[in-house]
Amino acid sequence: MQHSLVTGASRGIGRAIAVALSERGDRVAVHYGSDQDAARQTLDLLHGEGHMLVDGDLSDPAIAQRAVDEVLASFGRIDVLVNNAAIAPSPETSHAIDAADYATWNHVWERMLDIDLRAPANMTFLVARSLMDRGLPGAIVNVGSRGAFRGEPEFPAYGAAKAGLHAMGQSLAVALAPHGIAVTSVAPGFVGTDRQQQKLAGPQGDGIRDQSPFGRVATPEEVADAVVYLSSPRSQWASGAILDLNGASHLRS
């Protein structure tokens, strides 16, 4: 049995990943930022027993340390870390350079880099060091974005943070391989989470679906399936990979 920690697992992609890992037989720590009710709903959906909740704003290094310590105290080890927690693009976080004022620009950049890049870096450090101290192999999977490659003109901090997350994963894949720890990333395109249903049902919906030649968007479960594979001991040779999950809506050369 593997012991997994999924950050940002109260809903959406994180919830789907937590459920899929529990279906595999993992004990899962469900991290959430502030919505305890939603996190408990995720916990109720998990298969098997022995799962747990852990909370906190992971942009605070002390809270990240506390979260990892709580999971280690309960599980004894963390075999799999999924860095999913992030501030996603939304009307509230839009900061296009030709529209945002300087104060908004700085605030959004600081917050997105803290949550979407620095927090995963700290969580990776803490979990990797816990594995190294115990002489155990493991897997770290980062949930990045197609936006790291095609650009995010209305959300440049998001695109930059996700590009940094991919680059960090590749650097640490090399550094952690001698310790038996694999590091990979997934780069989803548009995913039809609950929060996106209103947009998909509105006038933008057809255009979003038409981004892919399949004429649809991804489901959270499709992202979760990829994470299940990449977090398996059988996928160690994929370490360093960035797996595109965008339905051929953006092709990298």
3-state DSSP call for residue 219? coil
**The residue type at 21:** L
148-175, pLDDT tens digit by residue?
A: 999 999 999 999 999 999 999 999 999 9
pLDDT of residue 253: 83
Is the alpha carbon torsion for 130, 245, 149, 234 positive or negative?
positive
Burial (CB < 10 A; 0-12, 13-18, 19+), residue 49, is exposed
pLDDT of residue 225: 98
Is 229 a residue of the active site? no
pLDDT of residue 195: 87
Residues of the chain under the 50 pLDDT cut: none
With 0.85 as the threshold, say if the pTM is over it. Answer: yes
pLDDT of residue 133: 97
CA separation for the pair 219, 224 (Å, rounded) = 9
**Topology at the third CATH level for domain 3-245:** Rossmann fold (3.40.50)
Q: Which of 77, 191, 57 is CA-nearest to residue 139?
A: 77
